[in-house]
Copies of this chain bind each other. A is one copy, B any other.
Amino acid sequence: MYYNYWFVFSKACEYGIKATIFIAINSYDGRRVSPKEISKEIDSPTAFTAKILQDLVRHHIIKSVKGAYGGFEIDKDTISKIKLAQIVNAIDGDQIYKGCGLGLQSCNEAHPCPVHDKFKLVRDDLKFMLEHTSLEELALNITSGASFLKI
């Protein structure tokens, strides 16, 4: 059997998205959070999550404050401006938007793979969805109890 255990996003990306949401929620209250708190809340391995947080800092999606009383935070103003696509891009790259569904070297209208036309529709829908979903709405859905970060 050649079953895989994943779909669309890497584990790193799943953790990154959930972590960013949790940081946003806490930033609304002016509270910084640590990798330990985050990983507990999103049910992820702490050290691995910390690596991903570093990556998100480098991509200027979240901010880190070193030292005592430090932690991770997001500028309140930017929470509504950050789109899911930016987080996914920072961690998984942009092949998700551009890559060929059947692994040809590139997805090319002029040299399409057998599923190109149909695959492109779905892929573009995914792209549109990611580009139009804001961190703000994801965070608000958690605080309102409409959605959950774990289990």
Contact = CB atoms under 8 A, between A and B. Distances in A.
Nearest to A138: B114
Contacts of A101: 7-9, 14
Contacts of A13: 2, 4
A93 B3 contact: yes
A139 to B, nearest CB: 8
Interface string A54-87: 0100000000000000000000000000001000
14 contacts: A2-B10, A2-B91, A2-B92, A4-B10, A5-B95, A7-B99, A9-B103, A14-B103, A111-B151, A113-B149, A114-B138, A114-B141, A121-B125, A121-B129
Interface string A113-135: 11110110110011001000100
Contact of A148 (B112, B133, B147): B112
